[in-house]
Chain A
């Protein structure tokens, strides 16, 4: 089973936790873990398209780090001077790097989130809040592409009598395009009237609407929830013990690394890589079953 086939609530918990941890933790190892794991997840979920995201991100991140160290002068370890005569410090450089890595990790997680959260899941999650709201989103999801398709149809019809938005002189084209917009609005309103009749006819205005979804919360989902929360509690314990934080100002100070620290590192890495691990396990199981 792929990660996106799990219940949408689990997807939501995972991404919410992963993104907030990536933002909150500034310990270099955790930052590095966030970024690398986010990258692995992105490659696993989106394939080669993740490479594009990465290629766009890396220069931005480098630029930000440079900019940050250039204009922030806290810290005690001077590395050199910029043209204005201000010192460039190791602390500011590291902090800038950690900020940009964290931002990069968040961006990568969001790209994963967009891949996992189809419109269906969004509609479902809103349905948990309010059935009417989720229905509204579903209607919107239908009407937007439909209106566009109709705009194309009008355009073709108008072209068939020589009045398309791409025909005739420039002013004529402008008038034709305007006309297309105005008729599109009339059409949308007119159709919405009929749709609303169909909705009322099927009891839309009755009280006590429910929101149906195809998702089921079964044992597979429950066991994953247990794993997620076990890992999250471990990570939070690490945060409580100041394992996820260091000081950059005035100098880099971090808690001593003990044996226990490695437990926190492992828990964090494991948590972030859950989608990839699930994928590998499933592929293994499928291969075993098929053999």
Chain B
């Protein structure tokens, strides 16, 4: 018997004027299956998932039927749905209800009216299984994002659901926490047999693990099959979704061959070895134009000289002698782990954090010599990690207008221009909070661009973006660069930095460890590098992006 059976489900939102958010969806999910749902934002993934739990189902016009364990979902009692259908949402913070970790674990069980003894056992069991013992007594405010999301998962698992639905659970997490979280989900699926239905934009970590992959487009299911066949289908279909496939899959289809498609880096390495078995590699490296030193001479846009900073008098130092030079007109990416002080570095450049030793020069002038209006008008601007915190008005348009002086004559034109650059023309009249993560990011960028910055600081710009938005976003950055804007971004996103940055730096323990061109930088590293590089380093010297590997494969055939 199928666990979930969705029969001819169509749905439209009340304000959509008949445009269907879901149209004729048919899907049958077996007990214990691991299903990955992917698709561009706005393709109806979340709408579909929400229909699988009655209290979360959006209001609107629905036709069709959903059957849960042999019974129409609408007839399954609230009590049973609460416990049997677990639902993890995107934002780790908003799902947590209480102030203590242990209380959060017990929340669902309290709702079900269980007695002390049973709850005590369940909570203990969950804390042990998820490795929460160490922070069991903590306030939730003290937890990291990854811990919060793990807590959400644990507190749902405490109710012993038979199916676990996850809606982009890792979009707010850094890559290491995200991989941890997805591994735990995988473990639950394998060890407990819980059915898993997950949407994710970080397909690298789950594509290979899925039993079936469902691809959605415009509210329809266009493919539903095992991962390899889905890759094959998307390639043949010429579908945009192909850009979201993991690196090994993309590289595989870039090179003509008859072998089986690799899904993981390990399989990819073996695939490459097999591809070049017994063959001489004539050109193992891509020749790149050397950046001429003289191009980089001249006043750097940002120069930091041994900058030291700590938040409080007795707190440990966060920046410990940062030396950094960002040449004019470059895209500079700073990579590094969580809590190493990357964001603090950006804040100190904006003069939000004031260093107690060292100097920061913007265009050769010390940052504290600028007046605030000089510094932030036609000069410097920072896009924060959480784009939502920039919005202060009811519509995007008002929010943008707010950035311009009231007597500005060409207000409308400038808004239109910046909206076009950031591709948000259609979103101007929406409430900023109603936009998806990627749309918010672009609207926030538009707002920041209205200060006409020549130096743009970006804090984790690709967090929560799916692969298409990343392409769009990169294009926007490249265009800005052409106009002479210097961009400094801090990011966890190794793949993005490798592809689009001119210079990459590694930040660790309050300082910049090394700075180099991306190809040199990433081909030196063996852990902290792109999937394409990890997959090909035993054969090629300096391939860091999928395109590099494909090109080298073609050159050597």
Interface residues of A, Cβ cutoff 8 Å to B? 119-120, 123, 131, 135, 138-139, 141-142, 145-146, 149-150, 153-154, 156-164, 167-168, 179-180, 182-183, 186-187, 190-191, 194-195, 197-214
Question: Which stretch (B113-121, B207-215, B218-226, B231-239) binds chain A?
Answer: B113-121
16 more CB-based (< 8 A) A-B contacts, given A146-B93, A200-B55: A135-B97, A139-B97, A142-B98, A145-B141, A157-B382, A164-B352, A187-B388, A194-B89, A198-B89, A198-B94, A198-B97, A206-B112, A206-B113, A209-B110, A210-B110, A214-B102
B34 touches A (CB below 8 Å): no
- A142 near B384 with CB under 8 A, answer no
Selected from B89, B91, B116, B382, the residue in CB contact (under 8 A) with A160 is B382
B62 touches A (CB below 8 Å): no
CB contacts (< 8 Å) of B78 on chain A: these are 203, 205-206
- B53 near A161 with CB under 8 A, answer no
Nearest CB in chain A to that of B98: its residue: A138
B457 touches A (CB below 8 Å): yes
In the assembled complex, how far is the CB of residue A206 from the closest CB belonging to chain B, in whole angstroms? 5
Question: Would you give 24 A-B contacts (Cβ < 8 Å), ordered by A?
Answer: A123-B103, A135-B98, A141-B99, A145-B141, A146-B93, A150-B389, A157-B382, A157-B390, A158-B389, A158-B392, A160-B384, A162-B372, A164-B352, A168-B372, A180-B392, A183-B392, A198-B95, A201-B56, A202-B82, A203-B111, A210-B113, A210-B116, A212-B119, A212-B123
Q: How far is the CA of A146 from the CA of B148 in the complex (A)?
A: 14
Nearest CB in chain A to that of B50: its residue: A197
- A161 near B382 with CB under 8 A, answer yes
In the assembled complex, how far is the CB of residue B157 from the closest CB belonging to chain A, in whole angstroms? 12
- B89 near A197 with CB under 8 A, answer yes
Q: How far is the CA of A145 from the CA of B140 in the complex (A)?
A: 11
Q: How far is the CA of A120 from the CA of B96 in the complex (A)?
A: 17
- B392 near A194 with CB under 8 A, answer no
Q: How far is the CA of A187 from the CA of B119 in the complex (A)?
A: 33
Q: How far is the CA of A125 from the CA of B81 in the complex (A)?
A: 31
- Sorting the interface of chain B by its residue count into under 10, 10 to 19, 20 to 34 or 35 or more gives 35 or more
- A161 near B447 with CB under 8 A, answer yes
Q: How far is the CA of A10 from the CA of B94 in the complex (A)?
A: 35
Q: How far is the CA of A70 from the CA of B382 in the complex (A)?
A: 66
- B99 near A191 with CB under 8 A, answer no
- A167 near B55 with CB under 8 A, answer no
- B94 near A191 with CB under 8 A, answer yes
CB contacts (< 8 Å) of A211 on chain B: these are 110
Selected from B53, B82, B94, B106, the residue in CB contact (under 8 A) with A195 is B94
Given contacts A159-B352, A202-B111, contact A142 B372 (CB under 8 A): no
- A162 near B377 with CB under 8 A, answer yes
B309 touches A (CB below 8 Å): no
Q: DSSP class of B's interface residues: helix, strand, loop or mixed? A: helix
B350 touches A (CB below 8 Å): yes
In the assembled complex, how far is the CB of residue B304 from the closest CB belonging to chain A, in whole angstroms? 17
Nearest CB in chain B to that of A161: its residue: B381
Q: How far is the CA of A134 from the CA of B492 in the complex (A)?
A: 40
Given contacts A142-B141, A157-B390, A179-B392, contact A203 B108 (CB under 8 A): yes
Q: How far is the CA of A177 from the CA of B523 in the complex (A)?
A: 48
B411 touches A (CB below 8 Å): no
- B100 near A154 with CB under 8 A, answer no
In the assembled complex, how far is the CB of residue B334 from the closest CB belonging to chain A, in whole angstroms? 16
CB contacts (< 8 Å) of B110 on chain A: these are 131, 135, 209-212
CB contacts (< 8 Å) of A142 on chain B: these are 96-99, 140-141
Nearest CB in chain B to that of A159: its residue: B352
CB contacts (< 8 Å) of A187 on chain B: these are 388
B156 touches A (CB below 8 Å): yes
Q: How far is the CA of A204 from the CA of B55 in the complex (A)?
A: 11
Q: How far is the CA of A201 from the CA of B386 in the complex (A)?
A: 26
In the assembled complex, how far is the CB of residue B224 from the closest CB belonging to chain A, in whole angstroms? 26
CB contacts (< 8 Å) of A119 on chain B: these are 99
In the assembled complex, how far is the CB of residue A203 from the closest CB belonging to chain B, in whole angstroms? 3
Given contacts A204-B111, A206-B78, A210-B113, contact A168 B384 (CB under 8 A): no
Q: How far is the CA of A211 from the CA of B164 in the complex (A)?
A: 25
B310 touches A (CB below 8 Å): no
**Binary per-residue interface labels of chain B (227-261) against chain A in the complex, 1 for a CB within 8 Å, 0 otherwise:** 00000000000000000000000000000000000
Nearest CB in chain A to that of B111: its residue: A203
- A161 near B448 with CB under 8 A, answer yes
Given contacts A162-B375, A190-B433, A202-B111, contact A157 B389 (CB under 8 A): yes
CB contacts (< 8 Å) of B381 on chain A: these are 160-162
In the assembled complex, how far is the CB of residue A161 from the closest CB belonging to chain B, in whole angstroms? 5
In the assembled complex, how far is the CB of residue B124 from the closest CB belonging to chain A, in whole angstroms? 10
Nearest CB in chain A to that of B444: its residue: A157
Q: How far is the CA of A162 from the CA of B451 in the complex (A)?
A: 9
CB contacts (< 8 Å) of B79 on chain A: these are 203, 206
In the assembled complex, how far is the CB of residue B483 from the closest CB belonging to chain A, in whole angstroms? 19
